[in-house]
Copies of this chain bind each other. A is one copy, B any other.
Amino acid sequence: MKSAISSLISSRNFNLHRSSLSFSIFRRPSLLLPSQFPVISTDDKATGANFTSLRRKCRFHSNKSSPIMASSFNPEQARSPPAVPLPIPPVTKFKIGLCQLTVTPDKQRNIEHARKAIEEAVEKGAQLVVLPEIWNGPYSNDSFPVYAEDIEAGGDASPSTAMLSEVSRRLKVTIVGGSIAERSGDKLYNACCIFGTDGKLKAKHRKIHLFDIDIPGKITFIESKTLTAGQTPTVVDTEVGRIGIGICYDIRFQELAMIYAARGAHLICYPGAFNMTTGPLHWELLQRARAADNQLYVATCSPARDVGAGYVAWGHSTLVGPFGEVLATTEHDEAIIIAEIDYSLIELRRTNLPLLKQKRGDLYQLVDVERLKSE
Contacts and interface: CB of A to CB of B under 8 A. Distances in A.
Contacts of A293: 252, 254, 289
Interface stretch (A5-13, A55-63, A265-273): A55-63
A74 interface: yes
Given A59-B55, A252-B355, A285 B292 contact: yes
Contact of A48 (B72, B80, B229, B369): B72
Contact of A46 (B46, B80, B362): B362
A289 B288 CA distance: 9
Interface in A50-81: 51, 54-55, 58-60, 63, 72-74, 78, 80
Contact of A255 (B229, B259, B359): B359
A229 B366 contact: no
A367 interface: yes
A1 interface: no
A365 B58 CA distance: 11
Interface string A358-375: 111011111111100000
A213 interface: yes
Interface in A150-202: none
Interface stretch (A82-90, A235-243, A329-337, A346-354): A346-354
Contacts of A360: 208-209, 253, 255-256
A76 to B, nearest CB: 12
A195 to B, nearest CB: 25
Contacts of A325: 281
A292 B288 contact: no
Contacts of A307: none
A339 interface: no
Nearest to A58: B58
A18 interface: no
A282 interface: yes
A43 interface: no
A345 interface: no
A30 to B, nearest CB: 16
A74 to B, nearest CB: 6
Contact of A364 (B72, B353, B368): B368
Given A58-B59, A80-B367, A252-B293, 19 more contacts: A48-B72, A49-B74, A51-B60, A54-B60, A55-B60, A208-B363, A253-B355, A254-B254, A256-B364, A282-B324, A285-B285, A362-B369, A363-B368, A363-B370, A364-B366, A365-B367, A365-B369, A366-B367, A367-B367
16 contacts: A46-B363, A49-B72, A51-B60, A55-B60, A214-B351, A214-B352, A252-B293, A255-B366, A258-B364, A259-B364, A285-B288, A286-B292, A362-B369, A364-B369, A365-B367, A366-B367
